[in-house]
Amino acid sequence: MKHLALAGALTAITLAGAGSALAAPSVERGDYLVNTIMGCGNCHTPMGPNGPEMDKALGGRLVEDNAAFKAISSNITPGGAVAKWSDAELAKAIREGIRPDGSLIGPPMPFEVYKGISDTDLASIVMYLRTVPAVTNDPGKSEYRIPLPPAYGPPITSVADVPEGVTVEYGAYLAGPLGHCTVCHTPFDKNGMAQFDTLLGAGGNEFHGPWGTSITANITPTGLGHYSDAELKAVLTTGKRPDGSMLLPPMPVATTAAMTSDDIDALILYMRSLPPKDTPTPQ
């Protein structure tokens, strides 16, 4: 099968670069990533009056319509246009934001961090997406009122695995390339790009929806220093703060709640390691 060939090719590249044998790509790993830390359904599953329409999971929808863009997520099931793409083409679209026709996928897809997804995990994600139920849905096309760059960086040939474990390094991989937590929780510039160099994790971005307006939290020690590790773990797995208040969308609590205990612990280690930053006034 095509996805097995892609998996084999990407794994061979990864192992050659890493110099050590790690887990092979699998549908199970892809399932875990897509439905937990990556939270792909948070943007790609249609929303009805009562929440996500799970019978149309990953079928695409209008995500955001603002002054900068009208963003419509694609149908990434076998019932969408991606069914005609090769696995290598789908992998390139996920990690580099480039469609088979050469056009660029725009915000809010977080390509500034997706470029760091390892070869093994990328192959697993593609393998899993080929197995999900086909959804017949054409959500339309995005419109951009800001200039898009010609690319999000040079072509990517290989990204090595980050060994799993309760470590700052793996927590950074979960929070960045996989979960894009750092994107939502880092202030955007006027072009909608996260200011990683100066304000990593400082929060302050506004998101608007049926729930009203939510502002992303400061996830550096400045914002989280008053939480114990146990309290922070409870927030990530229940969506409830120690004072009883609940986190608001688009924070995908249902997906973080499904993560393993070790992965949550790694995320907390990483957040504790961030340099303290003050949250700027939202622009």
Question: 128 with 27: CB under 8 angstroms?
Answer: yes
Please write the tens of the pLDDT for every residue from 58-80.
999 999 898 889 999 999 999 99
Q: Are residues 30 and 110 in the same domain?
A: yes
Asked if residue 240 and residue 117 are part of one domain, the reply reads no
The CATH number of whichever domain residue 244 belongs to comes to: 1.10.760
Residue 228 placed within a domain: yes
Q: Are 64 and 186 part of one and the same domain?
A: no
In a domain, residue 194? The reply is yes
In a domain, 278, yes or no: no
41 domain-assigned: yes
155 in a structural domain: no
Residues 116 and 240 in one domain: no
Domain count, the chain: 2
Examine residue 158 and state whether it is found in any structural domain, yes or no.
no
Tell which wins on pLDDT, 191 or 81.
81
**Domain of 56?**
2-144
Asked if residue 162 is part of any domain, the answer here is no
- Whether 249 maps to a domain, the answer reads yes
182 and 262 housed in the same domain: yes
If asked whether residues 46 and 103 sit together in one domain, one would say yes
- Whether 132 and 180 map to the same domain: the answer is no
Q: Mean of the per-residue pLDDT values for the chain?
A: 90
Q: What pLDDT score does 282 carry?
A: 59
Considering the domain architecture, whether residues 13 and 133 belong to the same structural domain is answered as: yes
Residue that wins the pLDDT comparison between 177 and 1? 177
Statement to judge: residues 213 and 88 lie in one domain: no
Structure tokens at 264: 């949550």
Last residue of a domain, one of 93, 112, 144: 144
* Residue 6 scores a pLDDT above 60: no
Residue 10 shares a structural domain with residue 136: yes
Which positions ≥6 away from 98 have C-beta within 8 Å?
92, 104, 105, 151
Q: Kindly tell me if the per-residue pLDDT of 157 is higher than 80.
A: yes
In this prediction, residue 19 carries a pLDDT of 37
Tens-digit pLDDT profile for residues 103-144: 999 999 999 999 999 999 999 999 999 999 999 999 999 999
Please indicate, yes or no, whether residues 88 and 52 belong to a single structural domain of this protein.
yes
Query: For residue range 261-275, what is the model confidence (pLDDT) as tens digits?
Result: 999 999 999 999 999
| Residues 6 and 128 grouped into a single domain | yes
